Amino acid sequence: MERITEGELFQNVIQTIRAAAKIIDCDKNVLARLSQPRRSVTVSVPVRMDTGDVKVFTGYRVQYSSTLGPYKGGIRYHQDVDVSEVAGLAALMTFKCSVLQLPLGGAKGGVKVDPSKLSRAELQSLTRRFTTEIAPFIGPQQDIPAPDMGTDAQTMAWLMDTYSNQKGYAVPAVVTGKPIEIGGSLGRVTATGYGAIYIAEKALEAKGMSIKGATVAIQGFGNVGQHAAALAHEHGARVVAVSDVSGGIHNGDGLNVVDLLEYMTTHKTLKGYTKGKSITNEELLALDVDVLAPCALNGVITKDNANNVKAKIIIEGANGPTTMEADAILNKKGCLVVPDILANGGGVIVSYFEWVQDISNYFWDEEQINKSMKKIITNAFDRTWKFSQEHKLDMRTSAMAVAIKHIEKAMTLRGLYPR
């Protein structure tokens, strides 16, 4: 286990788990079990490249906890993937599913590869061979992967097809985030962005404000950022700034969100959009707004810029956008930070619905999906908020404490096998 537990991300997650466990006086035996993944699989993935040569990649699937249900978590293709990072992300998935009270455990997978350097045929071969290597460990009742960085709906379609070929019949429920045509769910694409805004509404209410007229700045204008902007606008907020890797755009009176989204459809980047003042990503983070939603990268709010943040509320659409030191600074300033495991939970909730629909072979309409997702995510906010008020704690520690408490109950009820 040494290699698994030595990485920085893993260590940070364990530190957060321990701090939260102390608050709820978590059973020491439960904490010991929650401090390591249940299973970690490392596989070789040989791929015949377009040149005719074979290249061997390394892949991982870390299954952290299945106390609450089948393992659930994405598969990442990135050149920096290592087993410890995958394990840390698998732990976060465990607590995300738990704080949302989904009947799912936590897992994560990854292949150490730069997907931008592979052709489509090479990527397909890589995905099919990786799926084959982890096939004994995944399945609709065992472990259900999903997309993550460097993978998408097409990757999930190849995974589903490979697994189905091995079984001899279609098994759509083995993976989520698939295209609609092969068992994907309506509402999955918008889920994370919409969920973040449902949470923003609750956080604003908690601070005695309303989404109507609230000013919002969004960093990252991809899947999460664009849908968050669309719903915030629809619900009457004033989206004053957005940014992507090319930089940001600001208009204190509110940007024209419909026009911006149309621009993105054609240009795929904010570069060249002129209906507002150009700002940098750093300037966006420092805007005096009601809600700041970092929806791009991890580690963007740090001890070096946290003091510049003027937002009243931060909604973590991205995973890990605030470092631990920055979190402490923001809490001290009275900024309400809603952590990633809660704020971006819309995606995994609709993934859960996709799995349920695949298993029952009956598909819901989008209205039902959004309504049910809203109910789950806002209930999770209410539980966490109540805990934070009762214990006078920040929302990050509270979300983790609520999540651990839920798993602790389930673990204690199930007991330890064999004794």
Active centre residues (catalytic): 108
CB of residue 96 to ligand NAD, shortest distance in Å: 9
CB of residue 290 to ligand NAD, shortest distance in Å: 21
Determine the residue with CB nearest ligand NAD.
222
Question: Which residues here bind ligand NAD, judged by CB under 6 A?
Answer: 192, 219-225, 243-245, 281, 295-297, 317-319, 344, 347
Question: Which residues contact residue 175 at a Cβ distance below 8 angstroms, ignoring those fewer than 6 apart?
Answer: 144, 145, 146, 156, 159, 160, 163
* Burial (CB count <10 Å: 0-12, 13-18, 19+), residue 351: buried
Measured from the CB atom, the residue of 138 and 295 that comes closer to ligand NAD is 295
**Contact between 5 and 84 (Cβ < 8 Å):** yes
Residue 57 is inside which H or E element, if any? strand 54-65
Measured from the CB atom, the residue of 204 and 284 that comes closer to ligand NAD is 284
Strand partners for 61: 41, 109
Measured from the CB atom, the residue of 47 and 71 that comes closer to ligand NAD is 71
**Contact between 39 and 378 (Cβ < 8 Å):** no
- Helix, strand, coil abundance in the chain, percent, nearest 5: 50, 20, 30
Measured from the CB atom, the residue of 214 and 373 that comes closer to ligand NAD is 373
Helices (H), 68-152: 83-99, 120-134
Question: Which residues contact residue 48 at a Cβ distance below 8 angstroms, ignoring those fewer than 6 apart?
Answer: 54, 125
Measured from the CB atom, the residue of 109 and 405 that comes closer to ligand NAD is 109
CB of residue 401 to ligand NAD, shortest distance in Å: 21
Helix then strand count (H, E) for the chain reads 15, 12
Phi/psi zone of residue 214: left (φ > 0), alpha (ψ -120 to 50 degrees), beta?
A: beta
CB of residue 409 to ligand NAD, shortest distance in Å: 26
Token pair 């005695």 is found at 208
CB of residue 259 to ligand NAD, shortest distance in Å: 17
CB of residue 296 to ligand NAD, shortest distance in Å: 3
Measured from the CB atom, the residue of 175 and 411 that comes closer to ligand NAD is 175
Q: What distance in Å separates the CA atoms of residue 417 and residue 239, rounded to the nearest whole number?
A: 52
